[in-house]
Structure 1
Amino acid sequence: MIALAVVAFTGFSGYAALLPAAPLWVVREGTSDSAGAGAVNFVLLGATVATQFAVPWLIRRLGWGPVLAAGMVLLGLPSLLHGLTADLAPTLALSAVRGVGFGILTVAASAAAVLLVEPRRRGAAVGAYSLALSVPNVLLMPSGGWIGDTWGFWPVFLLGAVPLLGIPACFALSRHLPERSTQAPDLPSGTPAGRTTYLRLIPPSLILLTVTLAGGGIITFAPQLVAVPWLSAVGLFAFGLAATLTRWRIGAFSDRVGVDRLLWPFVILIVLGLSALAWVVRTPVGTAQVAAWVATCAVVGISYGALQSLTMLQAFAAAGPRRVGAASAVWNAGFDAGTGTGALLVGAVALGAGFGPAMALTAALCLLTLPWAIRSALRAR
């Protein structure tokens, strides 16, 4: 778990630093508008999703260590090249390469978290893994755009290369995992995941998709939602800290209470939080609105974090011990597809109608998943 924590911390540090900063880079130093800025993270996460379903196959062919290390190289090295140009086309190309690395990291690391422990402690393990990856989100995601605006973008690009420091931990982690396998140890080999497995994974994936769609919009456009740069950092810090704490603690709590019973309250909470946020950001947030801005970001962050862990645990339970790799790929694809689509959708709607209506749309999409969450709770009785 220590080696996994190092991999998660360094890998997600590179991801978190550039997630708000790279879109801002093409706006501040290039000639792009909000739609172009949204495309930066859309391409990043589109490449991530395109990669994720191949990761279990890559691990079977090459082994855990080489695959994880390759992911860290592809995620970290392109960050150093971002500073050479703020033109949109090369920025999109570098984002695509980073997306491949991030796709490898997300699927392999979350599968490893499950494979390192017995099923009854799965929630606690997912919570600990989530804490390690969320700390960079709390520290670097709020500050990436602010550092770029205040001190220049090169310090952010150097932070984006931190995944390269985690390569030794990739090989240390690989020694404790089933050799070239993404299923639970001591089980006979199963057939590849089929149609039934993927159908079971649809409900948690849809909930996750809408939640991360909202999160992607907030993370990408926080610097543009405020009138004063430091307010972006404060809002994202509140969002990230709330998400980190709930994502960490909800795992162990769900081991005792059950995952299915916990979904629907957090779906309702995120709908209410996003609705309030839509009202706050209908005009750029100023210092007079700092309390409302921070409070709404924190409320959204609570549900954002909790629903990540809960849907991950529900996905692994639905897939079964022989389909850990498939569950990890589908869950991470839902997470990153939602984040990338949120960046593109919120940017496109904001271009025509403003950020208030754009965030209201994300609240409506989250509300559509409430029947699935309620159905899970009723089934658990």
Structure 2
Amino acid sequence: MVQTGLSRAEIEQLDSMWKAPGFVPTLVAVFAAFGSWSLLLPVIPLAALDAGHGPALAGASTGIFMAATVATQIFTPTALRRLGYNPVMVASAFMLGVPALGHLLGLEVWNLLLFSALRGIGFGALTVAESALIAELVPSRFLGKASGMLGVFIGVSQMICLPLGLFLADRAGYPAVYAAAAAVALVAAVMCLRIPRIKAQPPTRPSPEEKATSAPAWKLVLVPALAVTSLSMSFGAVSSFLPAAVQELDPVTGAVIGGFMLSITGGAAMVMRYGSGVIADRNGRPGATMIPGQVMGFAGVALMALVIANGWPVWWLVLAGVLFGGGFGIVQNEALLSMFFRLPRSRVSEASAVWNISYDAGTGLGSFLLGAVAAQAAYSGAYAVGAVVVSLGILATIADRVVGAHRITELDNTRARLRQLPLGRKRRRNG
């Protein structure tokens, strides 16, 4: 049964994010959708290699997936305004999983790339829609916690389904994984039917006075986007090379730890992303944990470079993974909330698109560029360069804090709306 949405005034009166119509179905749908994606993420390249293709084509299957993802994310805000969240998310969940069945026809080049691209279209639309939808469904004062909970559902899904896909491939064969991914995505599509039938708001046009006193939208989202990109580039190297680096450093202990490193990093990101959201809600605005999160991420990737370069005990890489993952989780949430708070309510879908493009493009770019560095200067060199990139993101955030102290951005954004709530005024008087 499709739920009808509440008005914005009614939503703001809710005393819990869990009472927001459509919030729980959205979380379940996102859990299933990311489960479908995670099942196939490590399996498709492995299947390509087993089919006799070279590493270049195996990598291209992921590359074309991400290219289709980013291209789709650019156009998703327009689709959300014209069609609404419900139909876009149902269609995207369907596109994310069902094309996996096309691989049952074989793994020729055309088949491998075509169905990977189709799945990327579904993933791109879904990632933008789910982040923006959270801002539409829950009260503004719970947005940080709600965004953090979204990260928890995504993180748990990945921690379960990434190893599960490899397990099923080993025990039941690749066709079983394709069928499982399609089935899980259909669960997501069914849950999306319970999302309220609402559309993204059309963009508002500021008055001449507002244009004169407000910064352009791209300036408001640029630095949060750079913060995400700087860390997601390092994440591209971490996800691609860290398990191998662990095993290379210590073939005995590393063989055990290496397989869990991505889960350790992802678990830290999940916990710290939620914690960052709680702090943002208590403060009534994001930003308090952004620089600490970036510093944590820098410390983690720099420690990875030092451990690998100096041959330190492999357990130091576990600490590095926790630091990097925790910092990355904080920056993810802070950047998304900052974009929501800085832009008008009518542009939350654009904020979600910019955030997702920054994340996905950074991950792909990092895998490519830092992989090239690793080929020339080993894994330690790749992580050292990653640390430098993160440090540039920190400097950009500090500069933005200085400039932002004099910036006016009161155009129906979340910060302005919170000031209109009795709760927000009470907090300021008590502060």
Relative distance call for 1:172 and 1:329 in structure 2 (3 A) is same
Following TM superposition, by how much is the alpha carbon of 1:369 offset from its aligned partner in structure 2, in angstroms?
Answer: 0.8
Q: Distance in 2 between matches of 1:380 and 1:155?
A: 55
SS class of match (1:368): helix
Q: Where do residues 226-305 of structure 1 align in structure 2 (5 Å cutoff)?
A: 226-227=246-247, 230-257=256-283, 258-281=285-308, 289-305=313-329
Deviations 1:205-243 (A, max 9, x none): 111112112222322445544546654431111011111
- 1:190 partner amino acid: T
Aligned counterpart, 1:15? 37
Aligned counterpart, 1:364? 388
Aligned counterpart, 1:210? 230
- 1:130 partner amino acid: G
* 5+ long unaligned stretches in structure 1: 184-188
TM-score of the superposed pair, with normalisation by structure 2 = 0.77
Q: Distance in 2 between matches of 1:322 and 1:61?
A: 13
- 1:69 partner amino acid: V
2:206 equivalent to 1:180: no
- Return the match for 2:204 from 190, 212, 215: 190
Aligned counterpart, 2:336? 312
SS class of match (1:172): coil
Q: Where do residues 103-182 of structure 1 align in structure 2 (5 Å cutoff)?
A: 103-145=124-166, 148=169, 152-161=173-182, 162-175=184-197, 179-182=198-201
Q: Distance in 1 between matches of 2:47 and 2:377?
A: 23
Q: Distance in 2 between matches of 1:224 and 1:309?
A: 29
Following TM superposition, by how much is the alpha carbon of 1:299 offset from its aligned partner in structure 2, in angstroms?
Answer: 1.6
TM-score of the superposed pair, with normalisation by structure 1 = 0.86
2:86 equivalent to 1:65: yes
Task: Report if aligned partners of 2:301, 2:384 keep a CA contact under 8 Å in 1.
Answer: yes
Count of paired positions? 368
Q: Which has the greater radius of gyration?
A: 2
Deviations 1:76-104 (A, max 9, x none): 11223346545566433322211110111
Following TM superposition, by how much is the alpha carbon of 1:10 offset from its aligned partner in structure 2, in angstroms?
Answer: 0.6
Relative distance call for 1:65 and 1:375 in structure 2 (3 A) is same
Q: Distance in 1 between matches of 2:331 and 2:89?
A: 26
Task: Report if aligned partners of 2:246, 2:314 keep a CA contact under 8 Å in 1.
Answer: no
Task: Report if aligned partners of 1:142, 1:234 keep a CA contact under 8 Å in 2.
Answer: no
Following TM superposition, by how much is the alpha carbon of 1:125 offset from its aligned partner in structure 2, in angstroms?
Answer: 1.4
Greater RCO between the two (CA within 8 Å, min separation 6)? 1
After superposition, the CA RMSD in angstroms is: 2.9
* 5+ long unaligned stretches in structure 2: 1-22, 248-253, 407-431
Q: Distance in 1 between matches of 2:35 and 2:359?
A: 17
Deviations 1:335-354 (A, max 9, x none): 11112222222333334443
